[in-house]
Structure 1
């Protein structure tokens, strides 16, 4: 898609809201006139931790286990999703009907709050809410990882088969909760490995950074390193790192800095941000943002983070991948540019198993086919 002139102002809020809720790196952009101001706001949307939550989807009707919602690209996806509003959460089932303005779906479960007509919320691929025990029936311990900025809460989940001394460290994406890992957690536990589901700076229950900004993995990697140190101190012989979206970018940043000396056993990356430059350009094109505004935003991001353009592109790290790696990518990802991920996988083909899906969206390969996702993940964990 090529850049086009900005649409009429009345169309910005709806399109921006949908894009901002598409996933961990989505951009919710309401742009003012002027290149500098637009670039400043766009950069802020990418980095600002304290941006307002947007609720673009309205409940048009609710009858029994059927709900009618605003039609969006996400609500029409016939895959398991959740619907989240300010005081509640529900799991959505099959799409029953679609018309020009609405989508009617099954309600699989209301896990919190009252789901009634008139509510506004957003859809999410995380599906499960709660902790490992309440959401997935897995025992766990709440632990504290000592990070650079303070204590980082984490879930420590034992394996459901005889345990070993390999640990899995699970790292969620930008703005996501630890619950992002709940979809894969039973498969991880079945491997026999302990799983440490971590938080990092600027998470809701974690210490904030001084500037209250996401650093796109460029400082968050230090909290992943702290989690590795915690695992080592508590008996881990080696670790497997698993990251979603910006969690994957944090892991890639870690690999720039860390000589693992055999302590890293394997990698699992689900729709990682391999190139922030390409991702920002893709989001901007979807919102019809003029290229000059996007260029300005990228320059501001580099300045605020103290990085160079090349620091935002991890494809050069492919030559450093020296452990078995399972890499998921969806070709219809509208949040994180998928092409750099495929290029990364091909460049590191000797070590990478690439799982390609379509029509799932960002970090939704599990949602598209849970059985296939878990089978491939389980087979990979057995192989390493």
Structure 2
């Protein structure tokens, strides 16, 4: 399998601002709604914004909740259900019809769930902090970042190697709560970080995500913090865009010298392939998708080619465990498979099916935790 080729040059110098904007002017030739979708698409990729609640709670009887029918609500894996004032853990799908899906509610951990609420699903099943959600003692610490103080959780351990957990785009530290018990059982101190534009962390000047192109500096700051607190070296653990930031840290940061191993979960290794995938799912004409990608490059100040980690897989020097769900429709799985195939000496790929983006744990927690523990025992000091 090969990565879908780039459909147009990605050099910012070769395609100046007026060209990208001018091509987007093809909107004159297509329906207004389609053109607007192209601009909306580019903004959605980069803008750091509050959580949206696209679902409607159509009913709740104390045990079962009815949600509108979507690909996600039909996906029969554990989820968190979030609404503006609350959180619940969802279990299995009970039934579905043409418009709605009924799911079991395992626990309401915060707030009151009632019909009419706007809600969202999250693969980060657990709510709260390591103690309240997983029974793990931790400290609230602050990592000195390039833009200012970055709040973090530190779960203590006995190993000299620390894990640094890096959540995905628009996510939060809660993403790591699924893996923390496994890490704690192995005695690995774990620093669960925030980075620029997170809630409670400093904002970048443009208040935009840079797809790992600048976020890696906050990961590097976390490595420096861990070293200052006695870590001999670190294991980087990145979900989605956190995986992109992790790989950029390996490529760009002097602190990469202290990285012992890497764990990636549905990592965004090739943004061009991923954004084209999302463009197709939104039925954007190829020229408008191309223009949106050029606009993304202008806004983040680098090319998507430079953020293509598959192109740099030859420089990988540390053991790497990669989780991938083959039904991921948000981050293109093909580049990750190619990444693993090109470096079988260092990369172990673990695939699941039927979950979607960053849901390999949700599909099979026992397998995920066993694979993670086996890998970490092999690479971390006792």
TM-score greater than 0.5 by the shorter chain = yes
CA contact (8 A) 1:170 1:243 kept: yes
- Residue 56 of structure 1 and its aligned partner are, at CA, apart by 2.1
How many Å apart are 1:32 and its aligned residue? Answer: 7.6
Preserved contact between residue 40 and residue 296 of structure 1 (Cα < 8 Å): no
1:271 is matched with 266
**Alpha-carbon spacing, 1:33–1:209, altered in 2? closer, same or farther (3 Å):** same
- Secondary structure of the residue aligned to 1:359 is coil
Asked if the contact 2:321–2:348 (Cα under 8 Å) also holds between the matched residues in 1, the reply is: yes
CA distance in 1: counterparts of 2:256 and 2:194, whole angstroms: 25
The correspondence of residues 136-285 of structure 1 with structure 2, limited to 5 A, is 136-159=134-157, 163-259=158-254, 262-285=257-280
Instruction: Please state if 1:46 is matched with 2:45.
Output: yes
Q: 2:122, 2:183 → 1: CA distance?
A: 22
**Aligned with 1:217: secondary structure?**
coil
Question: What is the aligned counterpart of 1:374 among 365, 369, 372?
Answer: 369
Aligned to 1:74, what secondary structure does the other structure show?
helix
Contact conserved, 1:32 with 1:38, CA < 8 A, in 2?
no
CA distance in 2, matches of 1:333, 1:317: 23
Q: Equivalent of 2:353, from 347, 358, 379?
A: 358
- Inter-partner Cα distance in structure 2 for 1:69 and 1:355: 31
In structure 2, C-alpha distance between the alignment counterparts of 1:238 and 1:309, rounded to whole Å: 30
DSSP 3-state at the match of 1:310:
coil
35-44 vs 259-268, which moves further: 35-44
Note the aligned Cα RMSD (angstroms). 1.6
2:283 to 278, 288, 309: 288
Instruction: Describe the SS at the equivalent of 2:355.
Output: coil
What is the distance in 2 between the residues matched to 1:55 and 1:261?
38
Q: Which residue of 2 aligns with 1:28?
A: none
CA distance, structure 1, for counterparts of residue 229 and residue 119 of structure 2: 41
**Structure 1 61/39 Cα, relative in aligned 2: closer, same or farther at 3 Å?**
closer
Normalising by structure 2, we get a TM-score of 0.89
Q: Deviations over 1:186-240 (max 9, x none)?
A: 0011111100000000000100000100000000000000000001111110100
- 1:147-166 superposed Cα distances (whole Å, 9 cap, x missing partner): 0000000000013xxx0211
Q: Give the superposition deviation at 1:33.
A: 2.2
- TM-score, normalised with respect to structure 1: 0.88
Structure 1 unaligned residues grouped into runs of 5+: 1-30
Deviates more, 1:339-348 or 1:52-61: 52-61
- What is the CA-CA distance between 1:97 and the residue it aligns to? 1.0
Shift of the 34–112 alpha-carbon distance from structure 1 to 2, 3 Å rule, reads closer
Selected match of 1:329 from 310, 324, 330: 324
Gaps of 5+ in 2: 1-29
Q: Which secondary structure does the structure 1 equivalent of 2:187 belong to? A: coil
